[in-house]
Amino acid sequence: MRLSLLQRASLWLYGWAMWLLVPVLKRKLRRRGAQESGYLKHIEQRWGTYPGIPACTGAVWVHAVSLGETRAAAILIKALRQQSPGIRILLTHGTATGRAEGLGLLQAGDVQAWQPWDMPSAVQGFLDHFQPCMGVLLETEVWPQLIHTCAQRGLPVHLVNARMSERSLRKALRQRALALPAYGRLTSVLAQTEADAQRLCQLGAPVTAVMGNLKYDIQIDPSQAALGQQWRAGAQRPVVMFASSREGEEAQWLALLDQISPQEQASVQWLVVPRHPQRFNAVAQLIEAAGWSVQRRSHWPVESVPAAKPKTVWLGDSLGEMQAYYQLASVAWLGGSFEPLGGQNLIEAAACGCPIIMGPHTFNFCEAAIQAEQHGAAVRVHSMAEAWVATQRSVNQPEAAQTAQDGARRWLAQGQGAAHACAQSLLITTHP
């Protein structure tokens, strides 16, 4: 694909803009590092410098920016290893939570690094050092300079588990001079749904197949399941989990609690698990300011839940225990769906057999949300007041929870198989 004069000029200006934004990124990393120390480690890697990190020539480069993408990458990497034993992986991330999760995916010969900042020198330093045989980007991670440099070098780059919401499409079309060549120069795109494929094609992306969602192939960690079930056996009342809550939603939820009676408040045990670890302390302070006590997971007894206390919220301030939390909960509210934030992945909750209540905003996971509702695995509400009514019905009617679990099994079964198909497509295309 030849770039037009406008596209070349836009890419040149973009490269300069990214270079000028380096001081801003450094300040942001320092701020984030004060809350999550992982952001302060190996910062030089973001600029394309890798002291002490071995080259990974011929490896398959998998980029999973954050926690959700890393969990999807884990499923894909497992399938790649099954079909190509001995394959080496270069795994990159953009967030500390993603990097921490990804560490557990590495085997002998694999390498982990930060995603390079999207400016020419950093991207070139990254590719010069590692020399992968192909790139595999998860879901939405298309960066103009990264794709341009890979295309110049003839490095195939695939976008897998690809999704594109209407909102993201509109944003990309407003920046078409950068977006069209970035998407158009990908080697292949494996979309989650037909709707995603149609939107990606509007950006010139070479969509070769609709594979479904990798996350349907999730496997529950037996140790996490056992821990969650042990917690549940020790809980003295039904646990309602606010899963992956986002900024603005906790305040809305606390306002709801003020409106319900003390008897209703005491009928369930609330567990709040914020989406971003850097917000753990802020959410704890918000809950305490509303007159509730907080018991953090990090302060619980080793393998049991705390004793029930009036007006006390449990705060899930740990990483890597979402499956245990879902096993503990009788019902989960879907974070990101009660404010216009697009929702969160609800497949993991369904796989754990946890009934889901979701708000009106699920545009980032539109088809999954629709299918979950159609199969009875999730209930759609328009407000938190409606969510509380649905919660009471779920915890007080065992048959409702069983119906949700049966629906979740049917829903997940019809979506499985994407990981094997994606891995097969990638390996056939590139022959690493």
Polymer length of the chain: 432
Angle of CA points 183, 186, 189, to nearest 5° = 90
* Count of other CB atoms within 10 angstroms of residue 65: 19
Angle of CA points 85, 92, 207, to nearest 5° = 75
Q: List beta partners, residue 151.
A: none
Strand residues in 121-172 grouped as ranges (E): 134-138, 157-162
Written as six digits, the tokens of 332 are: 């989960």
- Catalytic member of 36, 44, 69, 139: 69
Angle of CA points 118, 123, 125, to nearest 5° = 145
Q: How far apart are CA 353 and CA 356, in angstroms?
A: 9
> Are the CB atoms for 137 and 107 separated by under 8 Å?
no
Indicate if 69 belongs to the active site.
yes
**Dihedral angle computed from the Cα positions of residues 282, 273, 28 and 157, in that order, rounded to the nearest 10 degrees:** -170
Q: How far apart are CA 224 and CA 68, in angstroms?
A: 17
Q: Name which of 5, 363, 362, 344 is nearest 169 in CA terms.
A: 363
Query: Which uninterrupted H or E stretch holds 269?
Result: strand 269-274
> Are the CB atoms for 158 and 191 separated by under 8 Å?
no
Which residue in this structure is represented by tokens 């369930």?
268
Half-sphere exposure of residue 60: CA atoms within 13 angstroms, side-chain side: 25
Q: How far apart are CA 68 and CA 261, in angstroms?
A: 36
Written as six digits, the tokens of 348 are: 């993991």
Q: How far apart are CA 83 and CA 85, in angstroms?
A: 6
> Are the CB atoms for 197 and 160 separated by under 8 Å?
no
In order of 172, 199, 268, the CA distances from 256 in angstroms are 37, 38, 14
> Are the CB atoms for 309 and 265 separated by under 8 Å?
no
Active centre residues (catalytic):
69
